[in-house]
Amino acid sequence: LWVDDLAGLIAGVQMNVLEFHVWGSLRQQPSLPHRMIFDIDPDEGLGFSDVQQAALDIRGILEALGLQSWPLLSGGKGVHVVVPLVPEADWEEVKGFCQDLAELLARTDPSRFVANMSKARRKGRMFLDYLRNGQGATAICPWSTRARGGASCAVPVTWDELPTFKSANTFDVFAAAARAQQPDAWEGYFDVEQTLTDRIRKAVQ
């Protein structure tokens, strides 16, 4: 199922769809992902500043590997670090890279990160959800509303402004609508041509 115009979007709303979750691939090329996502999912006891710093740390690692990324306020508790890709690496390679990086952070900074989705193990730490990158897995679509109190939305932001927000659910539907009239926070996202090379994959193993 896909939506490719306003009429389709309105039809979804008429069916009481509040959240739109999308694959990491294009409809025309479902066998190859065109992005990867690091979904930072914090334990309930952590502050949003912990999530912000984690996102910035992941961005720094990706930059050191030669990969550009963009942040998304999820509209819930966390931040998604989104990495556009030329669709060349397959699902197994992309998910494997994300898992390797998550496990590397869990090993080197175990007081902050876990790579296991168990909530018991997450106590006081953040789960780096690499499972969003498996074939058929989905993640919240930028600009989607969330089925949560306060009518929050998932909103793209810039790296410079990420530290200024107080929570991942800063934008409700009205604030998101106003935000959408401003310059694109993800300018250049669709122009980036980057791939997961053997060098990049081996660097986190």
Q: What integer pLDDT is reported at residue 110 of this predicted model?
A: 95
List of the chain residues with pLDDT < 70: none
Residue 120: per-residue pLDDT: 73
pLDDT at 69: 98
pLDDT number for residue 2: 84
The three-class DSSP label of residue 32 is: strand
Q: What is the pLDDT of residue 131?
A: 95
pLDDT of res. 96: 96
Q: Looking at residue 90, what is its pLDDT?
A: 95
From the number of C-beta atoms within 10 Å of its C-beta (0-12, 13-18, 19+), residue 100 rates as middle
Other beta carbons within 10 angstroms of residue 80's beta carbon come to 24
Angle, to 10 degrees, between the axis of helix 48-64 and the axis of helix 91-108?
Answer: 120
Helix (H, G, I), strand (E, B) or coil at 71: strand
Q: Tokens for 200?
A: 């990049």
Per-residue pLDDT, 202: 93
**What is the structure's pLDDT at 170?**
96
Domains and CATH numbers, the chain: 6-203 (3.90.920.10)
Residue 108 belongs to what H/E stretch? helix 91-108
State how far the alpha carbon of 165 is from the alpha carbons of 23, 53, 78, in Å. 27, 12, 12
Q: What is the pLDDT of residue 1?
A: 77
Burial 46-78 (b: 16+ CB within 10 A, else e): bebebbbbbbebbbebbeebebebbbbbbbbbb
Residue 148: φ, ψ to 5°? -140, 160
